[in-house]
Chain A
Amino acid sequence: MKHLTGKEAGLVLCSECHSIHHNLTEVELQCSCCGADLHQRKPNSLNRTWALLITSMILFIPANTLTIMNVAYFGQDDPSTIIGGVVLLLQLGSYSVAFVVFVASVIVPVFKMIGILMILLSLKFNINMSERQRIRMFRFIEFIGRWSMLDIFVISILAALVNISGVAVITAGAAATAFGSVVVLTMLAANSFDTRLLWDYSATDNHLDK
């Protein structure tokens, strides 16, 4: 049986207080219950997500190639990149922490960007994928996204703590800005994506088949 959506029934859900509105005119765009803006779907959802995703992908390159942290130990500079920091942890013998940092600052952002890209491409080229599978992936992406802030926090803690001039000084590098932007932009990209579009697109397909 074909499912009926709120859009087809002419109903609009308030994204904030979850009250359902009907018989809305074009001008009436505010929820009468909580005052939030009402939209059938998030406005320009796909365009916004594409823009934010592409920007974060571009910024991911300097985030990984430039120095993220500089350790000056007795006057000797030792700049390191994200991967360099992981390698250092491995050399120190703390494999579990190295694994956590590697997952948070390399695997998570890459997985996030590829995941959102896959969902956007599947909508763009009408690739037949299960909606349930895609929404599971999207929820996972939303859930893990914030954990890539780990590296930024580590740098800010180390920079504040190891600040004994002449002995050891840790300073942030240019990649920190780039990496921070990547994290924020991918979070915004996930936020601006409207998951209901997954079913909208497959529904139009069903219509065309008949």
Chain B
Amino acid sequence: MIYNILLAIFLTVNINLYCCDIIYNGAFVINSKILLCHECDLLIENQEIAEGSKLECPRCGHVLYKQKHNTVNKTLAYTITALICFYPAVTESIMTLNMSGLSQEQSLIGGARVLLHEKYYLVAILTFMSSLLAPLLRLTLLLYVTLSLSLNYFHSSLLWSFRLYHHVEEWGMLDVYMLGIIVSVVKLLSMAEIQPGFGLWAYAVLLVTSILATTSLNHHEVWEQLLEKKNSCGATQAVNQ
């Protein structure tokens, strides 16, 4: 117990000595000499790692950061492609059902509309949010952040935009929806004829490019650049480098 307290005091003093040149407003920025694990709160000394590799927490295995640079432009390209495909993917028919001479089309937005019409409000909102609103919001925020960074533009709304992006990320479920399309086709094949529509192809491209946009982006690089451009934190970063 006493040993731990002593250790804590010793390390705290040490941290303050260590980082006195990079303290600003009581905050250490990402590039500092110490790191805290996001998942287990372990205090870790920052290490230089090679480009393309990643630093993992020795205690819980969480990836602390990836050393991957110049990801912003690549992400921007994927995001623009995804946004171009968004409109046809949502409005064009995904598939057409032929049954006893009658046919029925279905688009991405149609599913939510039918549920709303049947008064299943919660399910309708859930479908609308996770298959349409969240992906669109996510891509728009990503476009705003990456475009601003590549044009060297800064506005304080970028900070909350990128924060909001983190929260929206897991509620966009384009990939699950794709699996949903496959399952419904299998369910219907025995009783009707199904034809894929133009919307399906647009949707497939949207899915692939939005996954690529998410995986190619290095969050730490974006935060680094955003905080560098922000004055109050930027001063710290400049001293550090």
B220 within 8 A of A: yes
Taking a contact as CB atoms under 8 Å apart, the answer to whether A32 and B27 are in contact is yes
Contacts of B177 in A (CB 8 A): 153
Question: Which size class do A's interface residues fall under?
Answer: 35 or more
Taking a contact as CB atoms under 8 Å apart, the answer to whether A156 and B60 are in contact is no
Contacts of B84 in A (CB 8 A): none
Taking a contact as CB atoms under 8 Å apart, the answer to whether A8 and B4 are in contact is yes
Which residue of B27, B186, B232 is within 8 Å of A97 (Cβ)?
B186
Number of cross-chain contacts by CB at 8 Å:
241
Stretch from A46-54, A119-127, A170-178 contacting the other chain: A170-178
Which of B59, B107, B124, B126 has the most C-beta atoms of chain A within 10 angstroms of its own C-beta?
B126
Please provide the chain B residues from 15 to 56 with a CB less than 8 Å away from any CB of chain A in the complex.
15-16, 23, 25-30, 32, 34-36, 38-43
Stretch from B69-77, B115-123, B204-212 contacting the other chain: B115-123
Min Cβ gap B148→A in Å is: 15
- Given A9-B8, A146-B176, A160-B114, A34 contacting B159 (CB threshold 8 A): yes
Which residue of B42, B118, B187 is within 8 Å of A172 (Cβ)?
B118
Min Cβ gap A70→B in Å is: 10
Please provide the chain A residues from 109 to 157 with a CB less than 8 Å away from any CB of chain B in the complex.
131-132, 135-136, 146-147, 149-150, 152-157
Taking a contact as CB atoms under 8 Å apart, the answer to whether B159 and A135 are in contact is no
Min Cβ gap B112→A in Å is: 7
Taking a contact as CB atoms under 8 Å apart, the answer to whether A152 and B4 are in contact is no
Question: Which size class do B's interface residues fall under?
Answer: 35 or more
Which of B12, B42, B95, B187 has the most C-beta atoms of chain A within 10 angstroms of its own C-beta?
B187
Which of B43, B94, B112, B123 has the most C-beta atoms of chain A within 10 angstroms of its own C-beta?
B123
Taking a contact as CB atoms under 8 Å apart, the answer to whether B122 and A94 are in contact is no
Query: Which residues of chain A have a CB within 8 Å of any CB of chain B?
Result: 2-11, 13, 15-24, 28, 31-36, 73, 88-89, 92, 94, 97, 100-101, 104, 131-132, 135-136, 146-147, 149-150, 152-164, 167-168, 171-172, 176-177, 180-181, 183-184, 187, 195-196, 198-200, 207, 210
> 12 new A-B pairs (CB below 8 Å) besides A154-B180, A156-B127?
A5-B43, A9-B15, A11-B36, A13-B36, A15-B38, A18-B36, A22-B23, A155-B123, A164-B100, A168-B99, A168-B192, A181-B122
